[in-house]
């Protein structure tokens, strides 16, 4: 090739310089050949880089635009496209008033720290997936003391439109709630981290197991929030039977169960009684654990149990020993002295339920008792004009009113838990506590409020006389703050199975 180029240059120079000027031809050749050869060398080098370089690196240039790593580097995502929320270090500090100090009276009640309750052996967890070794604080963290931290770009694990089982009056976004700031708060424990719920890791942890929820409509609210998160990984199969709702996640052989039990004790109507009771009035047998729960208990690996809000709000008679009427709620027509008011009956009912669980001879699982979930009715109760209209962010500490009912019910729950721990200290099952009462005292913003249905004509503001619209300040928007309960649940289950 070099010889051909040399001949070509010689012919060009002969045309430019007369034949009798052979010396001139030789001189010109020296000046022309050198730059020309350099130009060719540069062109060849450029061709090698452009055409051969990608092949030498085993890359197809046509695939570069589809490389996810390149897309992450080149794209300019909006906040909604960010895959993970900002880290705690990136989030502006919350107002100093949103602190870990509990509201009046609650601070006098000392919760049973979950770290003190030893878990039982049951099943195997995926150690590598959950990375237990990287979480040394797991055994000592108190997840229920801390503060709410705002994360403005926090993205829920699911949307109301991606979960078909949300109870209609908890579907806040679907019912027209215009604000979404209630979604942007993360509970930050003091001195440790509360892990976000990882639905895949959760299902791996519970592979081959059964998790049951029992209680009232707030327990159902909790159950639905968990199901919505897991639904994004796999659509479960409905295998319900009788009074027991069941969903099977086939890929993980995981069963989620829900048993309705408003009071956690047996409920009957009619029959004999020492005090005349209206035929259609529910009778709460304070000394009898709910038979539907008891009959299914042995099949559960984990039971999340909660109750409370039906006590004192639904008319009922209190019964012991099958027929002895000892009191009532919303009803009494006898001169016989009342032995139990609502708080006393609630204490007896919680004692019966928890001790019935921990002494069950065939139950070897973990029971997680979720404490009283605060409501936020102001200016009245749920049926007397109470309201949480206009709440769009967590309450400041100074804004939290004293609630005697919450204080009393919480105290009786903690007493029942301590007694059950003592009675069941040699039990084959274990009992732990999900203490949501303090953290959720601040979350008046996280209820549906007036956004309880899709009716476009519903009233959502106070009328001209200042009366609030009908509203729900007891249940929780889904998605919303209630998803924190499943972060607690995930952390508690990791702790439980980690210790086996």
Q: Dump pLDDT digits (tens) for 81-128.
A: 222 222 222 223 333 333 333 333 333 323 333 323 233 333 332 222
The span from the CA of 373 to the CA of 446, in Å, is: 12
Backbone torsions φ then ψ of 222, nearest 5 degrees: -65, -45
Per-residue pLDDT band for 205 (boundaries 50, 70, 90) equals very high
Backbone torsions φ then ψ of 77, nearest 5 degrees: -70, 150
Q: How far is CA 159 from CA 391, 451, 457, in A?
A: 21, 16, 24
How confident is the model over 390-408, as pLDDT tens digits?
899 999 999 998 899 999 9
What pLDDT is stored for residue 102 in this prediction? 38
What pLDDT is stored for residue 337 in this prediction? 84
Per-residue pLDDT band for 35 (boundaries 50, 70, 90) equals low
pTM: 0.73
What pLDDT is stored for residue 246 in this prediction? 97
Q: Indicate if 217 belongs to the active site.
A: yes
Q: Indicate if 162 belongs to the active site.
A: no
Greater confidence (175 vs 49) lies with 175
How confident is the model over 449-474, as pLDDT tens digits?
999 999 999 999 988 888 899 999 99
Do residues 210 and 300 touch, judged by C-beta distance below 8 A? Answer: yes
Domains along the chain with CATH numbers:
2-74 (no CATH), 123-498 (3.40.50.1110)
3-state secondary structure of 287: strand
Do residues 309 and 218 touch, judged by C-beta distance below 8 A? Answer: yes
Q: Indicate if 475 belongs to the active site.
A: yes
Do residues 112 and 421 touch, judged by C-beta distance below 8 A? Answer: yes
Neighbours of 64 (CB within 10 A): 10
State CA 367 to chain mean position distance: 18
Burial of 115 (0-12, 13-18, 19+ CB in 10 A): middle
Pairing relation of β-strands 302-305 and 366-370?
Answer: parallel
What pLDDT is stored for residue 500 in this prediction? 62
The size of the chain, in residues, is 500
Residue 323, pLDDT above cutoff 60: yes
Alpha-helix runs per DSSP H in 76-136: 127-130
Residue 484, pLDDT above cutoff 50: yes
The span from the CA of 20 to the CA of 1, in Å, is: 29
Q: Which of the residues 122, 180, 217, 299 is marked catalytic? A: 217
Q: Which of the residues 222, 360, 475, 496 is marked catalytic? A: 475
Burial letters 31-59, b for 16+ CB under 10 A, else e: eeeeeeeeeeeeeeeeeeeeeeeeeeeee
What pLDDT is stored for residue 271 in this prediction? 85
The span from the CA of 497 to the CA of 124, in Å, is: 7
The span from the CA of 249 to the CA of 255, in Å, is: 6
What pLDDT is stored for residue 395 in this prediction? 96
What pLDDT is stored for residue 336 in this prediction? 79
Residue 64, pLDDT above cutoff 70: no
Alpha-helix runs per DSSP H in 309-387: 342-358
Do residues 376 and 439 touch, judged by C-beta distance below 8 A? Answer: no
Mean pLDDT, rounded, for 213-230: 97
Instruction: Tell me the DSSP string of 386-450.
Output: -B-TT--SPPPGGG----HHHHHHHHHHHHHHHHHHHHTTT-SSEEEEE--HHHHHT-GGGS-BT
Nearest CA-CA partner of 394 in 217, 149, 208: 149
Q: Which of the residues 397, 472, 483, 496 is marked catalytic? A: 472
Pairing relation of β-strands 324-329 and 316-320?
Answer: antiparallel
Greater confidence (48 vs 161) lies with 161
The residues that bridge with 430 in the sheet, in sequence order, are 366
Residue 76, pLDDT above cutoff 80: no
The span from the CA of 354 to the CA of 431, in Å, is: 9
How confident is the model over 353-399, as pLDDT tens digits?
999 999 999 999 999 999 999 999 998 877 777 899 889 999 999 99
Do residues 230 and 256 touch, judged by C-beta distance below 8 A? Answer: yes
Q: How many helices (H) and strands (E) does the chain have?
A: 12, 13
């Amino acid at each position: 090739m070099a010889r051909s180029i040399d001949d070509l240059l010689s012919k060009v120079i002969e045309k430019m310089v007369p034949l009798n000027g052979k010396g001139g031809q030789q001189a010109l050749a020296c000046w022309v050949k050198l730059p020309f050869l350099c130009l060719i060398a540069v062109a060849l080098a450029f061709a090698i880089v452009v055409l051969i370089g990608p092949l030498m690196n085993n890359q197809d240039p046509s695939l570069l635009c589809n490389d996810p790593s390149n897309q992450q580097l080149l794209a300019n995502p909006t906040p909604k496209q960010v895959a993970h929320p900002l880290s705690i270090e990136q989030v502006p500090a919350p107002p100093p008033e949103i602190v870990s100090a509990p509201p009046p009276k609650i601070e006098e009640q000392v919760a049973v720290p979950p770290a003190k309750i030893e878990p039982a052996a049951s099943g195997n967890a995926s150690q590598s997936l959950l990375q237990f070794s990287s979480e040394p604080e797991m055994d000592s963290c108190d997840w229920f003391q801390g503060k709410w931290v705002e994360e403005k770009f926090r993205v829920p694990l699911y949307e109301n439109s991606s979960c078909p089982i949300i109870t209609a009056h908890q579907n806040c976004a679907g019912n027209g709630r215009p604000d979404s700031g209630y979604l942007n708060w993360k509970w930050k424990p003091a001195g440790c981290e509360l892990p976000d719920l990882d639905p895949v890791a959760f299902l791996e942890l519970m592979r081959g197991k059964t998790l049951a929820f029992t209680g009232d409509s707030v327990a159902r609210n909790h159950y639905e929030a968990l199901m919505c998160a897991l639904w994004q990984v796999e659509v479960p199969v409905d295998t319900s039977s009788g009074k027991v709702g069941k969903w099977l996640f086939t890929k993980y052989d995981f069963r989620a169960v829900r048993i309705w039990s408003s009071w956690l004790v047996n409920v009957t109507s009619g029959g004999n009684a020492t005090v005349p009771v209206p035929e259609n009035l529910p009778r709460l047998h304070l000394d009898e654990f709910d038979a539907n729960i008891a009959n299914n208990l042995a099949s559960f690996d984990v039971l999340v149990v909660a109750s409370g809000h039906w006590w004192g709000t639904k008319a009922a008679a209190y019964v012991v020993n099958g027929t002895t009427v000892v009191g009532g709620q919303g009803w009494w027509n006898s001169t016989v002295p009342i032995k139990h008011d609502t708080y006393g009956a609630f204490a007896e009912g919680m004692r019966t339920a928890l001790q019935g669980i921990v002494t069950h001879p065939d139950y070897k699982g973990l029971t997680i008792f979720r404490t009283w979930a605060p409501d936020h009715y102001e200016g009245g109760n749920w049926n007397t004009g109470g309201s949480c209209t206009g709440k769009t962010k967590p309450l400041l500490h100074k804004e939290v009113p004293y609630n005697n009912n919450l204080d009393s019910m919480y105290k009786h729950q903690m007493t029942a838990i301590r007694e059950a721990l003592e009675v069941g200290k040699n039990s084959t099952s274990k009992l732990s506590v999900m203490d949501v009462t303090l953290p959720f005292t601040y979350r008046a913003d996280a209820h549906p409020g007036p956004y309880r249905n899709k009716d476009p004509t519903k009233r959502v503001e106070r009328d001209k006389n200042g009366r609030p619209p009908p509203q729900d300040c007891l249940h929780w928007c889904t998605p919303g703050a209630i998803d924190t309960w499943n972060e607690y649940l995930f952390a508690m289950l990791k702790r439980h199975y980690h210790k086996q």
